[in-house]
């Protein structure tokens, strides 16, 4: 078929964008008054400022009490532009009801918290975009002093949250609803109004362009895949409610697993991921340029971005500046050169060969691990305490308390967290208990070789068995405090 030039030009005409009103969006805040909004608790915590709702003061909530839908919404989309000052903590509630004392007793909160530090030793792990205590986001994805957009959609039993057009939450509430122990029964999808949170004095936040699009009450959820509610599901809910960072920091895009598939799994399971590339001799990533390409490919994604250093040579391949751009860096001690000059990868039996004296091997191996912890600028020691297959049956005997303590002391002295690995099911409970007693930090990690990421089963098991608290779990350091910035790269 031949298309004339005039027809081609006509086909390229861009239609004018529809206005908010034409798209069904209705303002809930007119920018001039607080008409339709009512504060519960401290009324002075909310005020008008330059067409915005400014939040700062004693803890309170500002509820929408206007006439639209009698302030009762079941299915809807809500948008708001938000800006926080450093250290602010706020939030947007939905499916809640007005409370004169200012404390919502039902409904859900979408968290607004980029850099809040907490009080009395408590550090809030849940970051902006979290469906608070249900599907949490642990990476800071928005910046203080800059406007960002929250977009919340509720359809039947499904809640989705976008942050600057980035889908960060996709939660499907099971039927019947399941709560973590201690969570109010009112946290269930039903219907209700909206509320803006003032968390505490000094938590300065600003809201503008608050729009709602009411949706039909009988609208079905976009997803029909029901969550599997089992002990692991309940344990993940418990950890989120109790401020544990539920993050798998050791995920690879392998076996055909795409980034989008990984993010879908993350949102469905309630486990945030750290996506890592392998950098080292014999691996695809061996230069700063390749590492920078990966960083660019991950920009704007709701996942941590990591570099896994491979072998002892990785420190010679990358610059300090490039390494510092990753959220965190990890390595293992499974590749090394033994005392006889033999280079081996201990997960490959052919390279290990026969181990005639396991005790001598262990002394050498522990020394190699300590060397990695002392010299390489890493955040996490991954695949810890793994032994060659030929001596794995003697794990508990060979990993003596003295050897365990030597590794723990080196990790502590250098600020390195120890990974609780889901694939190898290491380290042992004995190691983890000794590490907790010494104040060690732990991370969760899978180290997948294919599309199967699991659900952190071993890590969840060890949290219970070893009594790990939320304070014991690793979170990446902020810029300026990373090991490579503190210690640099080794010169030899």
Dihedral of alpha carbons 326, 328, 332, 333, sign: positive
Q: From CA 59, how far away is CA 39, in angstroms rounded?
A: 11
Q: Please report, for the chain, the start and end positions of each structural domain, with discontinuous segments joined by +.
A: 26-214, 244-487
Average pLDDT, 10 consecutive residues per value, the chain (492 residues): 46 58 89 96 95 96 97 98 97 97 94 88 92 97 98 97 97 92 85 96 95 96 87 96 97 96 96 98 95 97 98 96 98 95 94 96 98 98 98 98 98 98 98 98 97 96 98 96 94 65
Give this prediction's pTM.
0.94
The CATH number of 244-487, from 3.40.50.1100, 3.20.20.140, 3.40.50.300, 2.20.25.570, is: 3.20.20.140
Joined together, the tokens standing for residue 255 give 């076996």
Write the CB contacts of 206 (distance below 8 Å, at least 6 apart in sequence).
Answer: 49, 52, 53, 54, 55, 82, 83, 84
Per-residue pLDDT, 2: 44
Which residue carries 């040579």 as its tokens?
313
Q: Given this model, what pLDDT does residue 22 score?
A: 66
Distance CA 47, CA 55 (A): 7
Tokens, residue 239: 């950890």
| Phi, psi (degrees; rounded to nearest 5) at 267 | -70, -35
Q: Identify the CATH class of 26-214.
A: mainly beta
Helix, strand and coil in the chain, % to nearest 5: 25, 25, 50
Burial of 415 (0-12, 13-18, 19+ CB in 10 A): middle
Residue 347 burial (C-beta neighbours within 10 Å; 0-12, 13-18, 19+): middle
Name the token pair of 280.
């080292």
Longest CA span, the chain:
84
Per residue in 212-259, pLDDT (tens digit) is 999 999 999 988 788 999 999 999 999 999 999 999 999 999 999 999
Buried/exposed 181-212: b ≥16 CB within 10 Å, e otherwise:
eebeebbbbebbbbbbbbbbeebbbbbbbbbb
Of 255, 240, 179, give the one whose Cα is nearest residue 450.
255
CA of 368: how far to CAs of 66, 333, 334, 336, in Å? 67, 7, 9, 7
Distance CA 171, CA 243 (A): 18
Contact 360, 325 (CB under 8 A): no
Q: State residue 14's pLDDT score.
A: 59
Q: How far apart are CA 427 and CA 419, in angstroms?
A: 8
The CA distance from 328 to 477, in Å, is: 8
The dihedral built from the CA positions of residue 414, 419, 424 and 429, taken in this order, carries a sign that is positive
- Exposed/middle/buried for residue 178 (C-beta within 10 Å: 0-12, 13-18, 19+): middle
Q: Quick count: other Cβ atoms within 10 Å of Cβ 99?
A: 15
385 contacts: CB under 8 Å, gap ≥ 6: 395, 399, 407, 426, 427, 428, 431
pLDDT of residue 345: 95
């Amino acid at each position: 078929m031949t298309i004339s030039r005039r027809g081609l030009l006509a086909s390229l005409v861009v239609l004018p964008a529809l206005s908010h009103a034409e798209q069904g969006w209705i303002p809930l805040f007119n920018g001039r008054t607080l008409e339709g909004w009512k504060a519960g608790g401290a009324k002075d915590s909310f005020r008008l400022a330059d067409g915005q709702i400014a939040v700062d003061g004693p803890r309170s909530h500002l509820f929408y009490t206007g006439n639209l839908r009698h302030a009762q919404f079941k299915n809807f989309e809500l948008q708001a532009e938000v800006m926080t000052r450093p250290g602010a903590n706020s939030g947007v509630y939905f499916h809640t009801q007005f409370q004169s004392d200012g404390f919502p007793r039902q409904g859900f909160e979408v968290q607004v918290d980029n850099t809040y530090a907490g009080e009395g030793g408590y550090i809030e792990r849940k970051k902006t975009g979290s469906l608070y205590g249900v599907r949490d986001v642990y990476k800071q994805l928005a910046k203080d002093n800059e406007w960002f957009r929250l977009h919340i959609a509720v359809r039947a039993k499904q809640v989705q949250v976008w942050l600057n057009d980035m889908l960060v939450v996709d939660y499907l509430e099971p039927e019947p609803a399941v709560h973590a122990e201690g969570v109010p029964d009112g946290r269930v999808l039903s219907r209700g109004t909206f509320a803006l949170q003032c968390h505490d004095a000094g938590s300065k936040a600003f809201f503008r362009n608050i729009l709602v699009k009411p949706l039909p009450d009988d609208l079905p959820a976009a997803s029909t895949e029901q969550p599997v509610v089992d002990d692991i599901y309940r344990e993940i809910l418990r950890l989120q409610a109790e401020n544990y960072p539920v993050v798998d920091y050791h995920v690879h895009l392998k076996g055909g697993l795409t980034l989008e598939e990984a993010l879908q799994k993350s949102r469905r399971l309630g486990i945030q991921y750290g996506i890592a590339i392998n950098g080292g001799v014999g691996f695809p990533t061996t230069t700063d340029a390749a590492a920078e390409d990966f960083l660019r490919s991950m920009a704007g994604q709701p996942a941590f971005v990591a570099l896994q250093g491979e072998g002892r040579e990785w420190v010679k391949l990358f610059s300090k500046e490039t390494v510092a751009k990753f959220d965190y860096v990890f390595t293992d001690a499974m590749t090394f050169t033994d005392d006889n000059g033999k280079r081996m990868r201990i997960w490959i039996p052919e390279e290990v060969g026969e181990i005639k004296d396991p005790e001598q091997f262990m002394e050498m191996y522990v020394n190699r691990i300590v060397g990695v912890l002392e010299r390489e600028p890493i955040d996490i020691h991954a695949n810890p305490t793994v032994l060659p297959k030929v001596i794995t049956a003697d794990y508990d005997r060979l990993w003596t308390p003295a050897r365990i303590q030597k590794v723990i002391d080196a990790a502590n002295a250098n600020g390195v967290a120890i990974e609780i690995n889901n694939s190898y099911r290491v380290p042992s409970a004995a190691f983890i208990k000794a590490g907790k007693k010494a104040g060690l930090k732990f991370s969760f990690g899978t180290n997948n070789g294919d599309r199967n990421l699991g659900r952190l089963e071993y890590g969840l098991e060890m949290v219970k068995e070893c009594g790990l608290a939320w304070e014991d779990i690793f979170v990446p350091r902020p810029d300026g405090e990373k090991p490579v910035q503190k210690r640099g790269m080794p010169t030899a």
